[in-house]
Structure 1
Amino acid sequence: MNQEQDGSATQDLAGIVSRFRRHLPIGFAIIVLMMVLAYGATKMMTPKYSASAQLSYSPQQALSRDGQPAPPTQTTDAARDAAIESQLQIATSLPVAIRALQDPEVAKNPTILARAKAFDPSGKSSDAMAAALLSGVSAARVGTTALFSIGYSDGDPLAAARIANVVAGAYLAVQAQQKLGQGSATSNQLKGQVEKLRQQALEADAAVAAYRLKHNILTDPNATLPDNELSNIGVQLSDARGAAAQAETRSAASGSTVISGGVDTTALSTLREQRAEASRDLAGLTSRYGDRNPQVIDARQKVADLDTAIGREMASMSRSARAESAAAAARSASLQASLAQAQSKLAGAVNASVQLAELQRRADNAHTLYTNLLTASGQQNANSALIQPDAQMVTPAVVPLAPTSPRMLINLLVGFVAGLAIAVAVAYLRERWSQTINTIDDVQRLLGVEFLTTIPTLQSSIDKPKTRDPAEAVILHPLSSYAEAFRSLAQTLIFDARKAEAEGGRVIGVGSALPREGKTTTTISIARVLAMAATKVVLIDSDLRRRSVTETLAPETQKGWIDVLNGTATLSEVMIEDQTGAIILPLAPGSERAQRVFDSGKFEEMLAHLREHFEVVVIDTAPVLALVDTRAMMPHLDSFVLLAHWRTTPVKAIRAALHQLDTVGAAVAGVAMTMVNLKTQAQSGYGDASYYYSEMKDYYVSS
């Protein structure tokens, strides 16, 4: 109970649903209204047609420097999803829209022109036109595949299909241009490096040429010519030196009769042979004829002539030997000088070849780098010509046959969902800030007192009532759930009244916080069901201002129990017997002027007398908040029930009434709800006995 009073008790799903079912009428009205609005809005909308081109994302493999496809790289699903998402962003980007607007038919589309004026009053701005175009463009991925679509919506189906294809083509063009731009940047960078290396190669070649000219290197310094030349000079020098030595030897021996080696002595030998022959002839003639013989003299003269000739020949040969020796010496000296010069030249050539080789290596390296980079640049240019976008058109957009929006069914569903959401929100707010009593849970949670029973309305508890008078219905339909509710309340109050220490019959009071709570009907019905059950019961009308019981059961009476207290009448004179056997103590006209009636000893004496002669005394009291009479009567009551009009009486009013009763120590048995619609409560009154009305109705007789 404490948890319920604190509002912290949990409630099962059935209870929650039951509480919301109380608001079904207004919720249903909200849903119907929203669906009607959705229907009307749909009818007022301009039909739109959507067409979409389907594309596939398949990145092209990069080309290596030799023009062959590079090995494929492994891509994770997350990376592929991110790449496809980036393509969707590109498809709906400003560059794609600007590219698509280059198509004249797209640029002149009336829908796009009208939308552009919303961004720019002139409607001529390229950005405004692009924004207007993009407002109708959509891009979406097809599931988790590599496919995605680019669509466009327009009032004209032909325009929708054409613009969708134009935008898809613009997307492919922009993507290819972006890739080409990346390749162009690389190509430009390569061109710059190629030009730089070309200049370096030219500078290196110029340095080699300048060095060759400076050092007079016209041939390959590594060739064998200098070595061969040096070797030839050495051989010639050796021969010259040998020839000089022989010439010197011949020159030295030129005065000797024996000359040999390298000198032509043919003439000398002939002369010598002639002299030898002449000497033999002379010797023969001398031995034969003596010295004076003319033949001997002639022979002797011939020998002398031959000796003279030999001398002259030897002198000539000596001069020739000396000249030859001098020439050989000069040639040897010349060859020696040439050898020294060749050796010096060879040493210079060796040093120059080392420097030239270094310069040549630099030039060769520059040429190699230049050639390689030039080849790479050419391949890059060739690759640029082969660049393809990473997406390919799979299916172009076709002309739609039916409008894609507005869709009546979807809009009605949206209206229903929106109405349902609003209805639930309204139900929650009404439930949250509810200021009335709906169920037993409300009584215990909001008021903190016992819940006694539920008093239904006549129409909800009896299918075909024989009367419209609620108080008379308990007589005409004694076995109905309507009559049973009053019997239940009467029995509860009687059991509660037995706790009192007073002797005799039990005095029970029926009251309410405010007027028109069903108090009078409840009081009369309690008295009647008790009387119909053979209980001696008396009903006292104590509502001095309204006299509701009297006006209902005895409107013509002129005397009442106030007159008994005043001594102008007796109880037997004012008692009126009801058709059920219940006794009525009415109020006479003018009773509202009576003062301090309920705290007088005479009223207490009258109640004591009634206790002695009746089993139950039922008192119809005035509204607690309206008059002090009910609080003044509380000490005389054994039990009291406070009635609350179902879903009508404010909780604050009931709390105020209970507080006022508590200040006088009233024995309040609890709160009973009146005028409850059983059929409605059976649907939404989760936890109440009436919630199970459909299961119990067979026990009642409504006819």
Structure 2
Amino acid sequence: MLQDNRRQASSSSAVGNDDTIDLVGLVGAIWRGKFTILLFVLSAMLLGGVYAFVVATPTYRATTSLALEVEGGSILNIDAIIPGMSSDDQTLNTEIEVLQSRGILKQLVARLDLTADPEFNTALLPPPIISLDQIAGGIVDTVLGPEDVVLDPGYDPEATALNDTISALRDAIYAEIHPETYVINIWVTTESAAKSQEIANTLAEIYIADQIDQEFAATETAVTWLSERVAELEMELLERENAMKSMRTEIDLISIEGLEALNRQFIDARERAEAAAADVALTEARQEQIAELRAAGNYEQLAEILDDPTLSNLVEGDADSEAIEARLDVLAARVDANLTRQLQQLQTLQDSVARLEGEVEAQSEDLVRLQQIEREVQATRTLYETFLTRLKEATVQRGLAQADSRVLSEAIPGQYISPKKPLILALSLILGAGLGITVVLVRQFLNRGFRSAEELENETALPIFGQIPIMPFKRRDQLISYLNDKPSSAAVEAIRNLRTSLLLSTSDAPPQIIMSTSSLPAEGKTTMAISLAHNLGGLNKKVLLIEGDVRRRTLNSYFKGQVKVKGGLISAMRAESMDGISNFLVRDPRMDVDILLGEKSPQNAADLFSSDRFEDFLSELRKHYDHVVIDTPPVLVVPDARVIGQHADTIVFNVAWNRTSRVQVKEALRLLRTANLSADGMVLGQIDPAGMKRYGYGGKYGSYAGYDSGYYDT
């Protein structure tokens, strides 16, 4: 009877998907790989020791210190022509670069003849026995033929050696400003303690001497330039003074006070002209008003405006208009004569203003020109005197040049600094341990298969029915003989454990139809099916072994020469009763199990197993056998296993140890779930006991873990 609970939705057997990091597992993996890690540690320390004690060249470092004189003082109490060193960071860093400059190092190479030292002139070293350049050159010559050597016409071996020596020397020197001070520390690292001392002290001497030379050269340049400039300024001053004298004779100007008096006359004349212009305007307005009133015949207002007694008497006495007009003519003539006189006076004043304004402008321009020339003469005289003074100071300071730094501390013989043997050995140990742990963890994480039943159970969330080690036979037809000849071996005991787990996996009754499958071929499902059937037969049970893989039909190779093939599964399915089915069953004399081999069919295997005839066939077998073991094709290859599984009481899923990948197992179980099936248990087969121990699992699995002494036949 089929197990209905196994046909439930796949939630009960879903594959686990825990993405959390198992720290205990990581520690366990590292512990299991302790010998690999130890091998890496020992190898790394061996290499580090060879390098530190044999390969590496000892080096020694000497140090000298220079104090920078940032004040730039002078011996005499006069200003320095060349200013002292600045105290800003840019200037101090510039001095570091000067100290390590090519010019300074070139002098150092020449003084100590370092081009003859193989440490700095590598061309003097003997050629290596073997090098990558030689290997590469040999390969190129072999493939392309020897290349003709063409020398550069401008090639200078001495210049090249000098350049290489200077570059190597620069690499051996390091200088920096001591924090919060004006002290330069110079470190020189070479292969000799005495050499490091000599180079450090000589470099400091050359640097100070170079500062003095640079200051002397700068002073000489300043004296030369000042001499030329003083001569030029003297000629320029003479020319300007002569121009000032000539101008004084050409212009008629007594003093600035005279210009001010002339300016006051101009202002007075302009004020008088403005007053005269106002009087003219007033008279013209009076003239126009009189003409308007006469035209209007308004004699009373005219008498009032003109304020003439005679006109007033005539108007008051009601004189005739002729008399009044005659009197008005006389008065109008007086107004016109007054206006003419005012206009003449205004013109005279305006002419005087224009004349005085021109004189003031001319006198002002002459004064400005004269003052400009005087200022230029004074500026030239001041500049001349300044440069003349500086020339005298530079002449005095020329012989008093001094450096802007001094030796604060001379170098002593260099101290040993490398190779740091304890540090190298410690780093080698750490590096070896790190590489070893990395290799162990990478090997652990990149492993696609399962190395323990615990891993398989955690990954699939399914119980583990059995763990079967590799059986030591070379040909398939030796399997039955091994099972019979080694009944107490670890592998046969593992089959018994599998049988026990399988029979006790259901609470109501032992499974009757048992299906054996796997993800892919060659994962041990057929071997497990035969071994299980053989073991069940040993319990005096009626057992039938069916080859469900009718496409490949490899079961016969396990019974080669022992059974006589007289039909197969297809023919048996056509039989009407058990008597007819019996005609196609075969037996191997070595095992008490009926065998029904596969048979080629023109019908598709999946369609064949989906037929009602196959279901009726299995129902008939249930009546006559205690257990029916069906070996089916792999799940990921063809759908046959999913079809046959619909009729099975228990599905046993086989996984090859350390070979079947996790992805393959997950995908196969997913395909079973698409058919509303799930594996009832997993079997981890083809286990290599030596490999288990190598991966650190040897102490956990009894039948092949080293605890088998006295229990199993080895």
1:489/1:660 Cα in 2 relative to 1: closer, same or farther (>3 Å)? Answer: same
Task: Read off the aligned partner of 1:130 and give its amino acid letter.
Answer: T
Indicate whether 1:513 and 2:513 are aligned: no
Which residue of structure 1 lines up, in the alignment, with residue 21 of structure 2?
11
Write the distance in 1 (CA, Å) between the matches of 2:556 and 2:92. Answer: 82
1:66: Cα distance to partner? 5.6
1:638 to 638, 642, 649: 649
- SS at the partner of 2:654? strand
Which residue of structure 2 lines up, in the alignment, with residue 230 of structure 1?
none
Q: Is the 8 A contact 2:65 2:408 kept in 1?
A: yes
1:52: Cα distance to partner? 2.5
What pairs up with 1:252-271 in 2 under 5 angstroms? none
Which residue of structure 1 lines up, in the alignment, with residue 411 of structure 2?
394
Which residue of structure 2 lines up, in the alignment, with residue 584 of structure 1?
593
Indicate whether 1:133 and 2:144 are aligned: no
Question: Which of 178-187 and 362-371 deviates more?
Answer: 362-371
1:98: Cα distance to partner? 1.3
1:667: Cα distance to partner? 3.8
Task: Read off the aligned partner of 1:55 and give its amino acid letter.
Answer: T
What pairs up with 1:212-223 in 2 under 5 angstroms? none
1:649: Cα distance to partner? 2.6
1:619 to 608, 618, 630: 630
Which residue of structure 2 lines up, in the alignment, with residue 167 of structure 1?
199
Q: Is the 8 A contact 1:94 1:130 kept in 2?
A: no
Which residue of structure 2 lines up, in the alignment, with residue 490 of structure 1?
502
2:545 to 534, 540, 548: 540
2:117 to 97, 105, 109: 109
1:693 to 691, 700, 703: 700
1:33/1:548 Cα in 2 relative to 1: closer, same or farther (>3 Å)? Answer: farther
- SS at the partner of 1:175? helix
What pairs up with 1:75-86 in 2 under 5 angstroms? none
1:696/1:634 Cα in 2 relative to 1: closer, same or farther (>3 Å)? Answer: closer
Q: Show structure 2 runs of 5+ residues with no match.
A: 1-10, 128-151, 243-376, 472-478
Which residue of structure 2 lines up, in the alignment, with residue 244 of structure 1?
none
Q: Show structure 1 runs of 5+ residues with no match.
A: 155-159, 211-358, 461-466
Write the distance in 2 (CA, Å) between the matches of 1:612 and 1:89. Answer: 101
Write the distance in 1 (CA, Å) between the matches of 2:651 and 2:623. Answer: 20
Write the distance in 2 (CA, Å) between the matches of 1:691 and 1:173. Answer: 73
Question: Which of 371-380 and 121-130 deviates more?
Answer: 371-380
- SS at the partner of 1:10? coil
Write the distance in 2 (CA, Å) between the matches of 1:90 and 1:392. Answer: 20
1:612/1:695 Cα in 2 relative to 1: closer, same or farther (>3 Å)? Answer: closer
1:51 to 32, 40, 60: 60
Q: Is the 8 A contact 1:457 1:678 kept in 2?
A: no
- SS at the partner of 2:73? coil
1:458: Cα distance to partner? 3.7
1:459/1:94 Cα in 2 relative to 1: closer, same or farther (>3 Å)? Answer: farther
Q: Which has the larger radius of gyration?
A: 1
Indicate whether 1:150 and 2:169 are aligned: no
- SS at the partner of 2:528? helix
Write the distance in 1 (CA, Å) between the matches of 2:497 and 2:510. Answer: 26
Which residue of structure 1 lines up, in the alignment, with residue 488 of structure 2?
476
Which residue of structure 2 lines up, in the alignment, with residue 124 of structure 1?
159
Q: State TM-score, norm by structure 2.
A: 0.52
What pairs up with 1:32-43 in 2 under 5 angstroms? none
Q: Deviations over 1:544-595 (max 9, x none)?
A: 62227953xx97243788586555663998577988xxx623246xx44467
Which residue of structure 2 lines up, in the alignment, with residue 248 of structure 1?
none
Aligned-residue RMSD, C-alpha: 6.4
Task: Read off the aligned partner of 1:168 and give its amino acid letter.
Answer: A
1:517: Cα distance to partner? 1.3
Q: Is the 8 A contact 1:116 1:131 kept in 2?
A: no
Question: Which of 513-522 and 424-433 deviates more?
Answer: 424-433
Q: Is the 8 A contact 2:518 2:655 kept in 1?
A: yes
Indicate whether 1:385 and 2:402 are aligned: yes
1:644: Cα distance to partner? 2.1
Q: Is the 8 A contact 1:100 1:166 kept in 2?
A: no
1:133/1:601 Cα in 2 relative to 1: closer, same or farther (>3 Å)? Answer: closer
Indicate whether 1:180 and 2:184 are aligned: no
Task: Read off the aligned partner of 1:128 and give its amino acid letter.
Answer: N
Q: Is the 8 A contact 2:62 2:188 kept in 1?
A: yes
- SS at the partner of 2:199? helix
Q: Deviations over 1:266-290 (max 9, x none)?
A: xxxxxxxxxxxxxxxxxxxxxxxxx
1:506/1:611 Cα in 2 relative to 1: closer, same or farther (>3 Å)? Answer: same
Q: State TM-score, norm by structure 1.
A: 0.52
Write the distance in 1 (CA, Å) between the matches of 2:43 and 2:447. Answer: 24
Q: Deviations over 1:612-668 (max 9, x none)?
A: 566654433344456665344222212323322122134565466556655655443
1:421: Cα distance to partner? 6.5
Write the distance in 1 (CA, Å) between the matches of 2:428 and 2:629. Answer: 55
- SS at the partner of 1:673? strand
Write the distance in 1 (CA, Å) between the matches of 2:123 and 2:528. Answer: 70
Write the distance in 2 (CA, Å) between the matches of 1:377 and 1:435. Answer: 90
Task: Read off the aligned partner of 1:62 and give its amino acid letter.
Answer: E
1:53: Cα distance to partner? 1.8
Write the distance in 2 (CA, Å) between the matches of 1:695 and 1:137. Answer: 65
Write the distance in 1 (CA, Å) between the matches of 2:390 and 2:511. Answer: 125
Q: Is the 8 A contact 2:68 2:405 kept in 1?
A: no
1:85/1:674 Cα in 2 relative to 1: closer, same or farther (>3 Å)? Answer: farther
1:453/1:459 Cα in 2 relative to 1: closer, same or farther (>3 Å)? Answer: same
1:99: Cα distance to partner? 1.9
Q: Deviations over 1:404-450 (max 9, x none)?
A: 56x998878777777766667766776676554457898699xx854
Indicate whether 1:649 and 2:660 are aligned: yes
Task: Read off the aligned partner of 1:394 and give its amino acid letter.
Answer: A
1:518: Cα distance to partner? 2.2
- SS at the partner of 1:101? helix
- SS at the partner of 2:564? coil
Write the distance in 1 (CA, Å) between the matches of 2:465 and 2:96. Answer: 65
Q: Deviations over 1:244-297 (max 9, x none)?
A: xxxxxxxxxxxxxxxxxxxxxxxxxxxxxxxxxxxxxxxxxxxxxxxxxxxxxx
Q: Deviations over 1:203-257 (max 9, x none)?
A: 99999xx9xxxxxxxxxxxxxxxxxxxxxxxxxxxxxxxxxxxxxxxxxxxxxxx
2:106 to 69, 87, 98: 98
Q: Is the 8 A contact 1:54 1:395 kept in 2?
A: yes
Write the distance in 2 (CA, Å) between the matches of 1:476 and 1:186. Answer: 104
1:11: Cα distance to partner? 0.7
Which residue of structure 1 lines up, in the alignment, with residue 320 of structure 2?
none
Aligned sequence identity (%)? 16
2:562 to 538, 556, 566: 556
